[in-house]
Structure 1
Amino acid sequence: MTLAMSWDEWARHDGLALAARVANGELTAAELAAQAAAGIARVDPVLSGVVEVFADAIEDPAKAGANLAGPFAGLPFLMKDLGPTMAGRLQEQGSLYMRGNRPAADTHLTSKMRKAGLNLMGRTTTPEFGVCSSAENPAVYVTRNPWDTDYTTCGSSAGSAAMVAAGAVPIAHATDGGGSIRIPAGVNGNIGLKVSRGVFSIAPHLSDLSGLVSIQGCQSRSVRDTAAFVDHCRGGAPGEFMPYWTTPEPYVELIKRDPGKLRIALSHQWGDYRATPHIAAELARVGKFLESLGHHVGYALPEVDYRAAFAAQTTCYISNFAIVINNLLASRKLERPPADLIEPVNIRIWEAGRGTSFAERAAMQAVFNTTSRAFGAFFEDWDIILTPITALPTPKIGTTEYLTISDNPDVLDWFENLWRNFAFTPLANLCGIPAISLPLASNEHGLPLGIQAIGKQADDGLLLQLAAQIERAIGGQWNGGATPAVHVTKG
């Protein structure tokens, strides 16, 4: 098959650049879809990041639901196999239990994506129900890092991160309940923004109260693609439980201007959790770079009871997830999760969480409140908190203590192990504040290390402005201009 462009040319384009070529008649959306499908076929046999490609969406993007008059003009887009549903398409959530699950309707966000012109052409891997830090169960699939396939992509937006990093698509769907956009962005060398609460909706699924910590979003390779995704996919459905907010100016316009001089607080230890010396040194190096851009940089940290905050976050995950499993069991009239279909740690989380009392949830919410207010007070004096995305280097494939196939009998110990590596991401979910991972550093093994910028509630635009300022300063050369070992441009 003859493709519309060479792989080098394809990889040089971000999503908006490809969309512009469709809009001005140089290319068709079907040609873009064919190229993306060929890109997936080129890299996915090694990476195992794509569950399914939709043949009809490649053949005729408009007929499959993409609005070719939208700003993304039929741009190929992969959906994480979790969260927003697509009418009539499978959604199996990384689980043997969910095999054959075919939702009947689009969710609100899916409709927004289609209207924006995204061509939802396939689905990507995720750990079972999005729990844990790697899409890695040999009974389902093992997703590998394109920079070095001995390592994990982390998670839970594993396949989307791998496909964006490997150049198959410029942008893909991701979700984040505690770092699941930012962590895989960080270890795969992508841009990953977790927006503030009140931006994206997946109505009618999850009331905003029960889905308190979980956020939708994307993985991308350019700041403007992420900005455009937020601009065109944000907003609540009728009857939302909480207010949805917007901005006076689209982010794609805002990011054309540098922010003013920012007060940036560096931090590489949160409570009991500390980054390795190498990772702390990388953070300091990026801090000096930001000083060279004219920002004020120092070391500071919100006055939070970190132990209580992480305990409350753990209670939230365990109790929320127990309800998810309960609902799945009720739909099949089962008493308990089948051990041959649901992974061991997920069964233990269900066991630990199904008896959570209202009083325990109320205590959890009280800690959420005090933690959010401590961060709020901190942001009266500082504009941004800068941290590494991970405290430790990327795990190798098969590091079972991070996986839901672990045989760890103690759920709290299993979560504690996660926090040791991923401490810097989840409190932004707890507080409902924005945070972005930028591919600016590398870990001890030479693999990408994201640097995270956290802002105050509704300061998403400021994070994107800073990211765009950095992008201009480095000439668009994220990851130092390097590309992964597994990449569409590398036969």
Structure 2
Amino acid sequence: MDELLRLDAAGQAQAVRDGQVSAREPAEAAIARIEALDGELNAVVHRRFERALAEIDAIPAEAPFRGVPILLKDLGWRQAGEPYHAGSRVTDGRADAPDGYGVVRLREAGFVVLGRTNTPEFGSTITTEPAAFGATRNPYDPAYSAGGSSGGSAAAVAAGMVALATASDGGGSIRIPASLCGLVGLKPTRARVSLGPAQGEGWNGFSCPGFVTRTVRDSAAALDVVSGTCPGDPYGAPELPGPLAGEVGRDPGRLRIGFLTAHPRDDMPETPVLTEAVTRAAALLESLGHDVEPGGPEALGDPGFSVTFGAIVANNVAAQVAMLGRLRGKPVEPDEIEPRNAAMVASARGQSAADHILATQWIDGFRRRMAAWWSAGHDLLLVPSLGVAPFPLGWIPSDDLSLAFGRTGHAVAYTSPFNATGQPAVSLPLHRDAAGLPVGVQLVAAYGREDLLVRVAAQLEQAAPFEHPAVG
């Protein structure tokens, strides 16, 4: 069974198709591993094991991922009849929403949903330590953070509980946990995956559903399963030339790639392990025949970005809290939510509707300035996935908001700009620090070009195969 769990999702699906294992065996093995490891890691906050096993016999034999177990992030990714918390006590485990379109597509493809994973309250920070459920621990060192907001999903995949899990990314929440847990984390182009039927967009378009996986081919194939505009979506992503799974192994050609070993913002601290990670990745890309040169978009260093981005996020958190109050019939009081989110709600109350619209218009201009770099002939940008070194649990304090917001701002400095622009970006596990903790590097493509990202990511994976020692 351990050997089965070492396979990626594509490998598990193939084993079922070939009759090497039954359609139940991958889920049974995953359940046993969750029960063995999750007492320490605290990645899975809701288990539906008996229901999951009972559903397997009804999966059509032709379903491409028949019997492959998966975990859903407990933020978005709603499943009818299952409790939903979004990392908060205030949600009260509401189970009254219909299946999200992405969940429908996953189940039609044959995936078996085993449960839901831990996330910080409302997904508004970069470490998974919610007061409601406790901290998720990193499988590489349980004293360290697994990242956030998809930290539960990342810890589960890194520990070999499942081969992939759903995630979402509003400021780095796929790429940061992927970096800290040594995984592949692909944030798709805005609107590549529908947020319906519950939402049209998340955080003014910043937030995108996706996955954390151990292989590029799993990231590509899983995104193929859930991609596509649904009725009523406010907008869609540019059409891809074909399935992303077909891009794995395809020659990307000779690309022009810029890289940054230091952030152009003046307030960003120098972090040697990040410099080393990007430098080594740049050398690897050059050895593969690409034209690699220092430099990146000038707009990335604009000090106005973090303030504007933060204001829009705060407004969206305030709206989410207000909606929770309406659903339960009484307002949510500040002491019912975590101090970070209470501070965001208070900040939003100090802004007018006009302030919010002006902030979104500032982002419109920022997006055009950023896009100009790719339009000028660059194919990819190489930067760190995370703006700080791997950090221990408690490093983002709940009782010192000034320190917490400052550290979070540094951590998302390389990720959040691409939530604002809507561009696809992938974190790849190409480096480790001196203690053996994973350090990801990030590749960013032009709007709509996941196909190019997958080609290059697969090329790097073949040249420097990703290792996953925490799987066992």
Specify the alignment match of 2:170 in structure 1: 177
Aligned counterparts, 1:223-238, within 5 A: 223-238=216-231
- 2: CA distance, partners of 1:429 / 1:144: 26
Aligned counterparts, 1:64-463, within 5 A: 68-137=61-130, 139-208=132-201, 211-267=204-260, 268-272=262-266, 273-304=268-299, 306-337=302-333, 339=335, 341-380=336-375, 381-401=377-397, 405-408=398-401, 414-463=404-453
Aligned counterparts, 1:10-49, within 5 A: 10-49=4-43
Which among 40, 49, 52 is matched to residue 55 of structure 1? Answer: 49
Specify the code of the residue in structure 2 equivalent to 1:44.
D
Shift, 1:336, TM fit = 4.0
Q: Deviations over 1:372-417 (max 9, x none)?
A: 112211002211111111222122112243xxx3342x5xx64333
Whether the 8 Å contact between 1:30 and 1:60 is mirrored in structure 2 is no
Whether the 8 Å contact between 2:127 and 2:396 is mirrored in structure 1 is no
Q: Which moved more, 1:69-78 or 1:459-468?
A: 69-78
Specify the code of the residue in structure 2 equivalent to 1:472.
Q
- 1: CA distance, partners of 2:81 / 2:204: 24
Q: Deviations over 1:349-384 (max 9, x none)?
A: 111113432321222122211221122110022111
Specify the code of the residue in structure 2 equivalent to 1:363.
L
- 2: CA distance, partners of 1:35 / 1:366: 50
Q: Which moved more, 1:52-61 or 1:382-391?
A: 52-61
- 2: CA distance, partners of 1:253 / 1:130: 32
Specify the code of the residue in structure 2 equivalent to 1:439.
P
Q: Which runs of 5+ in 1 are unaligned?
A: none
Distance 1:116 1:355, change over 3 A: farther
Distance 1:146 1:51, change over 3 A: same
Shift, 1:206, TM fit = 2.2
Shift, 1:244, TM fit = 4.0
TM-score computed with the length of structure 1 as normaliser: 0.91
Q: Deviations over 1:440-491 (max 9, x none)?
A: 01235431000000111001110110010111112xx31xx3512xx4x3xx
Whether the 8 Å contact between 1:201 and 1:236 is mirrored in structure 2 is yes
SS in structure 1 opposite 2:141? Answer: coil
Q: Deviations over 1:48-68 (max 9, x none)?
A: 1011221234422336x8555
Shift, 1:139, TM fit = 4.9
Q: Deviations over 1:260-311 (max 9, x none)?
A: 1111111131313244123212211111111111111111121215211212
Specify the alignment match of 1:473 in structure 2: 463
Shift, 1:183, TM fit = 0.1
TM-score computed with the length of structure 2 as normaliser: 0.95
Q: Which runs of 5+ in 2 are unaligned?
A: none
Distance 1:210 1:310, change over 3 A: closer
Specify the code of the residue in structure 1 equivalent to 2:441.
I
CA RMSD of aligned residues (A): 1.8
- 1: CA distance, partners of 2:179 / 2:270: 14
- 1: CA distance, partners of 2:356 / 2:440: 33
State the identity %.
34
Specify the code of the residue in structure 2 equivalent to 1:280.
T
Q: Deviations over 1:155-198 (max 9, x none)?
A: 00011100111111111100100000000000000000000012
Shift, 1:104, TM fit = 3.5
Distance 1:104 1:278, change over 3 A: closer
Whether the 8 Å contact between 1:127 and 1:156 is mirrored in structure 2 is yes
SS in structure 1 opposite 2:440? Answer: strand
State how many pairs are aligned. Answer: 468
Q: Which moved more, 1:414-423 or 1:16-25?
A: 414-423
SS in structure 2 opposite 1:440? Answer: strand
- 2: CA distance, partners of 1:473 / 1:213: 32
- 2: CA distance, partners of 1:428 / 1:169: 28
Specify the code of the residue in structure 1 equivalent to 2:318.
A
Q: Deviations over 1:222-277 (max 9, x none)?
A: 11111001111101211221134432321111222120111111113131324412
Specify the code of the residue in structure 2 equivalent to 1:37.
I
Specify the code of the residue in structure 1 equivalent to 2:346.
E
Whether the 8 Å contact between 1:270 and 1:424 is mirrored in structure 2 is no
Shift, 1:33, TM fit = 0.8
SS in structure 1 opposite 2:454? Answer: helix
Whether the 8 Å contact between 2:167 and 2:212 is mirrored in structure 1 is yes
SS in structure 2 opposite 1:141? Answer: coil
